[in-house]
Structure 1
């Protein structure tokens, strides 16, 4: 369905006055207290002044998860997901969800070859949860996928061995069916860094994690519930944070070279980034280092992607990491003004930095995957249908803010409105296997986006190699060979990638705009031994 038809149906719903809806999306429940059809960036914001977040504080390092094991090559720890309070704006306490009380969650740092055992305690009242080890080479039964939930008040231990060659910047977040989007934007996400036994990047460059999240606050400091616009486009906050801070400050000496690992841990925000006045060199992607450094002027991080950079600060003065314009497609009013946001300020002093070795020309070898044994095609579309509606327990009413949904149970079913994001014309069904693959076989996946906006595509259980892109009849090869677990597929674009699943069991593939995943844009590949 094209954007005009999609939005006409949405507008019909908005102006329906007393028309009530209890909306059922394949058993998923959604909080949607309001739909505002007016303009402006935040379709759920109050007309009152927004809370002001402090800026310019020193960039803080992410707290580390302590290793409770004394055995070499072993990492044991505990992660607890539970309600907590954060203070993003002065004088306002914000209820959040947190791992071990921190936002973002604690940094987990291990080495390739380590044995990892993490006890997960779900203390979220009334909600299932999991921990998904995003991008990591873990067995299917340790992946934290939606088929393996941890009930509220329960715990389980995730255990896996990290193979040689798995060094990369991964992350972890919940993946419960129908609750992933809300649990992530409420605060459940953390960085997982697997270090190599021998690192070709000079230690003098440091190793700085920049975990990018976004935040929407009401005037009382709470996080407003998601709106209809959030479901259509994915939830985009009013503030972009770095390690939980707004525009923090980092100080370096003149001539310094710094290694940054950038994580896009937002639900739905596309971040096109550049450093103003500093040279950027890409050295790694989702699955670790590239074969060789690549100079870059701007980089695009779609939701869930990671990138490693070396940034050279050659001249004294303030250097900013800022956002560039990028059109990811947007349905309806309220498109955020994403260009020109300052995310990080680097103060470069006129005192020279300590001399550091040059970046090696060769970082590692990446073996190209061979000829595929199978070809698969995945087509992204969206659909919205209107029908008779029935009043739910909370009901629906119109007020000065627009459409107001009462209660927390919003579902779509027979006779109601049905909005879905689809893969191959099918909405996600946890009891259906969509693809059967054979462990160890290379496959060519063709991902076709016929929808009205970009969709970042994520595959569990493996890393893949992007072969080529096609848009408007023009085919282009990948800029460089790399290992990826998430790739943006622009609207009207086809992306072809090679992958091999080596671990038997069910794995997910889905759009990593988390609201779209919940509205059906997800499938299951069963890997057979």
Structure 2
């Protein structure tokens, strides 16, 4: 669908984005809606900057048995003070955004409780090779007040930077932007990266906050483009700082856990070496000047701080496609500042020239095509289950009900199987983006290898082999990936702009034994 056709349906949209959300919020407050009585202010909260970088808390292992990680996890309302004197109601896991750290070969048992009032939820173990009935997909919700146990093995070779988040259909986007996310770090038995480099987790989120500290609901522009917040945060902090010595090398793991923000990043006054992607280490270190981290993607970096002074992790401009008003200014934001002293760092071992071997998946036996499109028009009520429709209706503005993002012309149906596959079968997937904006494409249950990109008749191949579970598909581009599902059961594939997933850009492949 052409951009001008799509935008022609938006003539009634005058104010959108953060401004519209704020206006809606303030008007509700002034009218007494929702029993709010505190006075309305017009000044947006100022988030403090430059505080010391805080590590995300580790979830403690309750098992004393080697090779078993056991813990309790609850999703429930909480309060965070992002700005001085203002409390923000959020959703959290155990009151925070925890890190689960385990090792390949371990057995994991997580006792989960849904403490979110009035909403179902799940835990999706993003990128992890877990059985289908442990994947936390939308068809397997945990009701409000309900409990379940997620249990799975971490196979050999699964060491990587994973994360976890809710995945209830129609509520995923809201529960994530309100705070539900955590890190799952699977360590190898023998790590080739020198321990002297450390291992720092940087969880990248964004936040939209109203004058009274509450998080405004999403608007039509949010659903159309994906929700982009006003503040970029690292481990819940705005532009935190860390102290490093001159010449120090740090291992930094970056996680983009935003709903829809595309992050084109570079380090000023420091050099970056890529050592890993979504599914773990790549084969050999690669020096890079910048990187693009789309929603749900992760990178594992070694950053060398070879110049004294401030080394800043900053955003660069990236045109991913934007519809309607309210396009955010993406460039020039500072995510993190490293203060490099004049004192030289202690000598550290060099990076090994080879990190791991990644074998090609080989020749595919099946080719599948997935065409991504967008449309406006009346909502097809038969395209969702009644439960899914109710959740979607509750969580989106009425104006957005005619907006759809489709795969192969179809909107997601929880009761429909879109593709049938076989466990252990190598497949070539062609993901073709005929929409007007980029879409990061995610597949549950496995890691894949990107084979090539094609746009305007030009074919390019990746300069290195890597395991991925999310790949950006630029508007007008075809991306070809090789994948193999080793565990049977239903698996989702979808755009990881969470609002687009919610408006239909998701499907199900049934992997048969």
Q: Which has the higher helix share?
A: 2
TM-score normalised by structure 1 residue count:
0.89
Aligned match for 1:99, one of 93, 117, 120: 93
Matched, 1:364 2:356: yes
Is 1:36–2:24 an aligned residue pair?
A: no
Q: Secondary structure at the match of 2:109?
A: strand
- 2:228/2:259 contact within 8 Å kept: yes
Matched residue, 1:168: 160
**Secondary structure of the structure 1 residue equivalent to 2:269:** coil
Asked whether the 8 Å contact 2:125–2:135 carries over to 1, the reply is yes
1:45 paired to 2:22: yes
Partner of 2:385: none
User: In the alignment, is the contact (CA less than 8 A) between 2:218 and 2:396 conserved in 1?
Assistant: no
Give the equivalent residue in structure 1 for 2:181.
Answer: 189
Cα separation, 1, equivalents of 2:342 and 2:497: 43
In 2, Cα distance between the equivalents of 1:36 and 1:67? 48
Out of 506, 509, 512, the position equivalent to 1:522 is 506
For the pair 1:486 / 2:470, whether they are aligned, the reply is yes
Give SS of 1:224's match: coil
The residue matched to 1:84 in structure 2 has which SS? strand
- Give the Å deviation of 1:212: 0.1
- Residue of structure 2 equivalent to 1:298: 290
Aligned residue number for residue 150 of structure 1? 142
Alpha carbon RMSD of aligned pairs, Å?
1.7
8 Å contact kept, 1:143–1:461: yes
- Displacement of 1:315 in angstroms is 1.2
Q: Which residue of 1 aligns with 2:384?
A: none
After TM superposition, give the deviation of residue 265 of structure 1 in Å.
0.2
* Partner SS, residue 5 of structure 1: helix
> Match for residue 6 of structure 2?
6
TM-score for both structures, normalised by structure 2: 0.92
Deviation at 1:302? 0.3
Aligned counterpart, 1:225? 217
Matched, 1:256 2:232: no
Structure 1: segments with no counterpart, 5+ residues: 15-34, 388-406
Contact 1:445 1:496 in 2 (8 A): yes
Tell me the equivalent position of 1:512: 496
Pair 1:346-2:338 in alignment: yes
Higher RCO (CA-CA < 8 Å; seq separation 6+): 1
Aligned partners of 1:9 and 1:386 also within 8 Å: no
Residues 254/441 of structure 1: CA separation in 2 closer, same or farther (3 Å cut): same
Question: Gapped runs of 5+ residues in structure 2?
Answer: 27-41, 380-392
* Preserved contact between residue 280 and residue 312 of structure 1 (Cα < 8 Å): yes
Select which of 49, 54, 59 maps to 1:60: 54
CA distance, structure 1, for counterparts of residue 401 and residue 421 of structure 2: 35
Paired positions, count: 484
**How many Å apart are 1:273 and its aligned residue?**
0.3
Deviation per CA, 1:193-232: give whole Å up to 9, x if none.
0000000000111100110000000011000000000000
Instruction: Report whether the alignment pairs 1:475 with 2:469.
Output: no
| 1:333 lines up with 2:325 in the alignment | yes
1:307 to 293, 299, 312: 299
Counterpart CA distance in 1 for 2:397 and 2:496 is 21
- Give structure 1 regions of 4+ aligned residues with deviation exceeding 6 angstroms: none
Q: Shift of the alpha carbon at 1:479? A: 2.1
